Structure formats: C-alpha cells, structure tokens
Amino acid sequence: MPPAGDAQETRRRLVEAAYGEFATHGIAGARVDRVAAAAGVNKALIYFHFSNKEGLFTAVFNQVVGQALALAPMDATNLPEYAGLLFDAGLAHPDALRLAAWHRLERAADQPPLKAVLDANQSKVDAIAKAQEAGYVTTRFTAAEVLALVLTIANMWSVLTPEQHLTAPQDPAARRALVVSALTTLLQP
C-alpha cells in the first residue's frame, strides 16, 4: 500500500480528474479508464479508494457540495442574497451545475441519498425555520419549501432549453437581479 501522503494525493488527483469526466459525460457515460489516465494512475486505484464508479461520483459530488457551501454561505435572514451568491457560484463553476444535473438525471432512486447533501439541506432548513420564527421569512411555505424555491430560482437559468435562452435576459447581472427580486417578492414575511 502507498504511504498515506501518496494515497491522499492519488485520491485528490482521481477526484479532480473524475470531476471533469462526470461533468462532461454524466455517471453512465463516464469511463474509469479515462479518469485513471487523466489522473496518471492505474485504474485499479479507483476501486481501491472508491470501491466503484458510484463511489467515485459520490466523492466528486461531496466536493461540489463543499465548494457550494464555501462559495455561498447561507444567511437565512437574507435568502434573496443567498440565492444571488448561488447564482454567482454557478456562473463561476458551470461544471458544478452540470454535475448536479447529472446527479438529478442519473442517480437511481433506489440508491441511498448522499449524506453531504442531506446534512447541508437539513442545516439550511433548520436555519430557515428559525428565520421564519423570528419574522424574517414568510411562513406561507414550510422551511423545506422555502429552501426548494431558493435553490430552484437561483439555478433556474441552468435548466432552460436553448430556445428559452434566446428570449431570456442575456446579461448575467440582469439574470442575477431577477433571481434576487423574485425571491424578495416571494419570501417577504
């Protein structure tokens, strides 16, 4: 077995290579031989570190969740601005949005939910519930519904068809302003 430092570096390189592979090809289309070649390691090391391709995708997606949490910290008392930060993060990291789309499209319903996503969502729902109790956020929706609205509206531009993009605002600042404005209207107490 390689020394611990080497193993950590190998894992890092595999996750980095897999990030691009999954973003480009999805879960089903990704090939572990391409990931191994891009990382400069033997394909067997993927199975050693991650068990299988799904385990590798989980490691990549956990990184995406961590990246989103770092780039867009949530302030439950100002959810429209949080949505603006999410919009900014998506603009800066379009591969992360593609990975999220592949996750929605290809991850089998019978697979267990990803713990990193469950934990992040639960902490956000709890914070939103407290903000609702304090009068910062509407109570017309449950805290979980508010989170769903915020996440969906913040990322709405990534799910439009190419034809819808033709009639949508093209300026990123205008798109961000619409996200913030829509959520300001929806979430007023």
Most confident of 6-10, 62-66, 160-164, 175-179: 175-179
In the structure, what pLDDT confidence band is assigned to residue 108 with cuts at 50, 70 and 90? Answer: confident
Planar angle of CA 119, 125, 128, nearest 5 degrees:
140
On whether the CB atoms of residues 77 and 136 are closer than 8 A, the answer is yes
Q: What percent of the chain has pLDDT over 90?
A: 80
Residue with tokens 């319903």: 109
pLDDT one-digit tens code per residue, 110-137: 788 899 999 999 999 999 999 999 999 9
Q: What tokens appear for 118 in the block? A: 């469950």
What pLDDT, on the 0 to 100 scale, is given for residue 165? Answer: 81
CB 189 within 8 A of CB 135: yes
Average pLDDT value for residue range 168-177: 94
pLDDT band for 1, please (50, 70, 90 cuts). very low
The C-alpha angle with vertex 151 and arms to 148 and 153, in degrees rounded to 5, equals: 100
Residue 172: alpha-carbon gap to chain centroid: 19
Is the per-residue pLDDT at 61 higher than 90? yes
Confidence of residue 63 (pLDDT cuts 50, 70, 90): very high
Structural domain boundaries of the chain? Answer: 4-187
In terms of residues, how long is the chain?
Answer: 189
| Angle formed at CA 8 by CA 5 and CA 9, multiple of 5 degrees | 85
Element (H, E) at 189: none
The CATH label, of 1.10.357.10, 1.10.10.10, 3.40.50.150, 1.20.1290.10, for the domain at 4-187 is: 1.10.357.10
